[in-house]
A and B are shown apart, each in its own frame.
Chain A
């Protein structure tokens, strides 16, 4: 920028001084013409002889330095340019005056100008020689560059701030032009990629991000460069980066456009996501392990409960045989002992059967099909017909929808819920049970309710009852394994839904669960 300005200045200044140079060597007519040119020059012009005395100046010079012309003619030029100019006019031991001068020609020299009132201002000086009868004179074109200096200062400040921002960024930042060449980068980028800054500036960005970035900068037949870029803005793109030592690491790239004088530049914020990636991989591995151990546990529960059934069958069968053949033939105590043994064996059988049912939910029912829930309910009621007849329960239901699920599990779900409703009754009332379903259209599912007029449940136990082996009643009140609702919960959750209860003691309960609509 500075350089460009200076060149422009030179182009503009040179004709004035060149003209002056040629004209002063000829006649007075020419002298007048030269004076006119001198006055017309946009810059302050001062002609100085070899001893450093001012021999001529224009109106601009008067204005800039605040002197009248006669106050300056014949005075040393150091009065208005204290340092850096006069010295350059004087030959030293090493070089002649002409040589000394020749070195300065055309180059803009930045110096300090001094006004009559003692104030200083920055100037740029352009020198050119002027042959005259009295020897070589120097024409100096003097430009007040205080505005430019101030602008430069602001710019430098801004640049400093931008650079500061760039350097302060926690991510590696690389600015790339449309050709895919790196024009700017920060210290994080140096560190991450293992290069020195100068090794990357001007290099192709593919050196550090071989694939997926440079391609995105290029417009194709379908889109302009702006469009191509716009598509990528703000999106984290996961790519592979390459260090100087050729090692690779995963990165996330965020792009943003930067309009510059040379077209659109792209600022890429590059984050090393090695840690995140390995955390992700670690998490995935953990999930896999967890799934495997869950599966193993399910298998274990299944095998254990299945194998437990064998010895239990022996115990149960023989205690039953004992009871059948010898009850009443031994003493009363022996009969009692046999009863306890039989009762224990029966309970354990139910427990193992429920455990098996519970573990089967995990090992079976992978596939979901369209199920008529009404048919499933009717199937469940058929399985419960003994209990329904015995209790005189009245089970009603609305029209029930088609849902996605496993039919066997859905039957079991209804069977457990309706079975509980029949079982947990307090008074002399006939058990009244109603099953209904309402559509929850927003999330494409059905919410089922199983409502009863039974004992009800204290809200203290709303959560607890769905846990494994959780019971609220003494065995001599209501027998059970405490697995039934755990099975319900597992079935519903396996179908992606949830189950809950609403109840008031003495006023019945409503169990709700949701299933995906078909």
Chain B
């Protein structure tokens, strides 16, 4: 299935971030960019993996069209989550974008080594962040052609 903005069919995005303020801000800005996006939130790495594997209370969780992953997370950090996603045959095709405050070269390199689909640093200015979110929506959720989800 190619992910497009089709009204009526919500686009599922999994946001993995432990900062409530950041989560809310990202939700607000994404809502402005594309009202069809349904944003799901995991506040740590363990919860993110449970959501993706539809375990426990996430048994009914949808398969996300895009994962937005922060690197510094409690319990299991973003690098481990990334390694697990990209090492999992059923998850590795989901576009996973690292969205973090770090602009350290080591973090950028490590993320791409772990097969991140792209790496984005959260800008400080709201306008710049809004512009970045529009770009994410425009590229990953609109223009990019992605393989159809293989039948399980």
Contacts and interface: CB of A to CB of B under 8 A. Distances in A.
Contacts of B122: 313
Interface in A321-351: 321, 324, 349
Interface in B1-41: 21-22, 25, 28
A105 interface: no
A313 B101 contact: yes
B46 to A, nearest CB: 23
A321 B25 contact: yes
A317 B25 contact: yes
Interface in B103-144: 122, 124-127, 129
A317 B101 CA distance: 14
A310 B25 contact: no
A106 B101 CA distance: 110
Given A314-B21, A317-B129, A318-B21, A309 B124 contact: yes
Given A316-B124, A316-B125, A321 B28 contact: yes
A320 interface: yes
A320 B126 contact: yes
Contacts of A349: 124-125
A81 interface: no
- The secondary-structure label for the interface of chain A is helix
Contacts, number: 28
Contacts of B124: 309, 312-313, 316, 349, 353
Nearest to B20: A314
A445 to B, nearest CB: 31
A364 to B, nearest CB: 10
Interface string B91-111: 000000000010000000000
Interface string B77-90: 00000000000000
Contacts of A316: 124-126
A349 B122 CA distance: 14
Contacts of B127: 320
Nearest to A315: B21
Contact of A310 (B101, B126, B129): B101
A316 B129 CA distance: 12
B121 to A, nearest CB: 11
Contact of B101 (A309, A320, A321, A324): A309
Contacts of A318: 21, 25
B126 to A, nearest CB: 4
A129 to B, nearest CB: 110
B126 A321 contact: yes
A312 B129 CA distance: 14
B97 to A, nearest CB: 19
A511 to B, nearest CB: 29
B88 to A, nearest CB: 31
Contacts of B28: 321
B50 to A, nearest CB: 27
A317 B127 CA distance: 9
Contacts of B25: 314, 317-318, 321
Contacts of A313: 101, 122, 124
B100 to A, nearest CB: 11
Nearest to A311: B21
Contacts of B126: 316-317, 320-321, 324
B69 to A, nearest CB: 17
Nearest to B28: A321
A342 to B, nearest CB: 10
Interface in A166-207: none
Contacts of B22: 314
Interface in B27-75: 28
A22 to B, nearest CB: 113
A318 to B, nearest CB: 7
Interface in A268-318: 309-310, 312-314, 316-318
Contacts of A310: 101
Given A314-B25, A316-B125, 17 more contacts: A309-B101, A309-B124, A310-B101, A313-B122, A313-B124, A314-B21, A314-B22, A316-B124, A316-B126, A317-B25, A318-B21, A320-B126, A320-B127, A321-B28, A324-B126, A349-B124, A353-B124
14 contacts: A309-B101, A309-B124, A313-B101, A313-B124, A314-B21, A314-B25, A316-B125, A316-B126, A317-B25, A317-B129, A318-B21, A321-B25, A321-B28, A321-B126
